[in-house]
Amino acid sequence: MNDLDRQDPSHHHRGAFNTTSAEVLRGAHGTGRSVRLIPFVAVMAAIEVLNVILTLRLHEFSEDGTLTQRLADDVSRFGNALFLLFLIASVIAVIASRDKTPRFVLPMLTTYLSVASLNVLINIVTMFIQPLSAHQSQVNPLIDLILVFSSVTLIFSLWYELIDVTSPFQAIDFPHRGGEGELPIRWFDYLVIAFYSNSTFGPTTETIRSRRIQFLMMVQVSLALMVLVVLVARIVKAS
């Protein structure tokens, strides 16, 4: 991606950052939006914790040695190693880089989100095919539902933010956000979109202008429907 760190005059009246920092990944093509690296990594850490917990829970209630279980374990370990590598690289980028975020940060963000998305997808598939244990109560599927719902919401919130910032145009139109005298656009705004997509199966007041985000939103809604339908069936069966 070109000109990630170029200053744009529109940053001032859009409520974005007006100082150059290695912690800020500037949006391309003068959209006036940017990614703050430290909050982004913090959300990634939360995703890692949720995915690790869910993988361990599914391993506890699954048969050992199955193909999906081995695949889930391998992807989870790879995601953990990738996160640690990116965490170290992020610390180095913030401390060592004075004026701008290094170019390797964006590919690493994209790679990690891809692996995290694959991890949660495999966990969902594992939940579908694993047998319902005799000792498994209604509480266990509910915990799995909360973990999956939270993971999917956080992962897609980062996807939406990353695509919106790197898009050559304004990919998401936030009403009453980012304009002169209005609140700046932050990660929480993308979290709201991801949460609405999980719960109401679509955005509410936001306008989606990017086909990539529209496609990802279709994927997210499909995952939410699959999880809700299957887990409700498992809860009923366990009762």
Q: Using the predicted structure, report yes or no on whether residue 139 has a pLDDT greater than 80.
A: no
Is 148 a member of any domain? Answer: yes
Compute how many other C-beta atoms are within 10 angstroms of the C-beta atom of residue 65.
7
Which residue has 């939940």 as its token pair? 127
Per-residue pLDDT of 73-128, as tens digits, reads 777 777 778 888 888 877 777 776 666 667 777 888 888 888 888 888 888 877 77
Q: Using the predicted structure, report yes or no on whether residue 185 has a pLDDT greater than 50.
A: yes
Q: What confidence score (pLDDT) does residue 6 get?
A: 40
Is 47 a member of any domain? Answer: yes
Is 37 a member of any domain? Answer: yes
Indicate yes or no: pTM above 0.75.
yes
Domain count, the chain: 1
Its domain, for residue 134, covers 10-238
3-state secondary structure of 16: coil
Provide the terminal-to-terminal Cα distance of the chain, rounded to the nearest Å.
53
Is 94 a member of any domain? Answer: yes
CB 175 within 8 A of CB 192: no
Longest dimension (CA), the chain: 63
Distance (Å, rounded) from C-alpha 23 to C-alpha 129?
A: 42
Higher pLDDT, 134 or 182: 182
Calculate what percentage of the chain has a pLDDT beyond 70: 69
Is 130 a member of any domain? Answer: yes
Is 20 a member of any domain? Answer: yes
The predicted model gives 27-49 an average pLDDT of 78
Q: What confidence score (pLDDT) does residue 215 get?
A: 92
Average pLDDT over the chain, rounded to whole? 75
Distance (Å, rounded) from C-alpha 173 to C-alpha 149?
A: 25
Is 178 a member of any domain? Answer: yes
Higher pLDDT, 128 or 211: 211
The closest of 227, 58, 40 to 130, measured between CA atoms, is 58
Is 5 a member of any domain? Answer: no
Distance (Å, rounded) from C-alpha 222 to C-alpha 1?
A: 30
Amino acid letter, 151: S
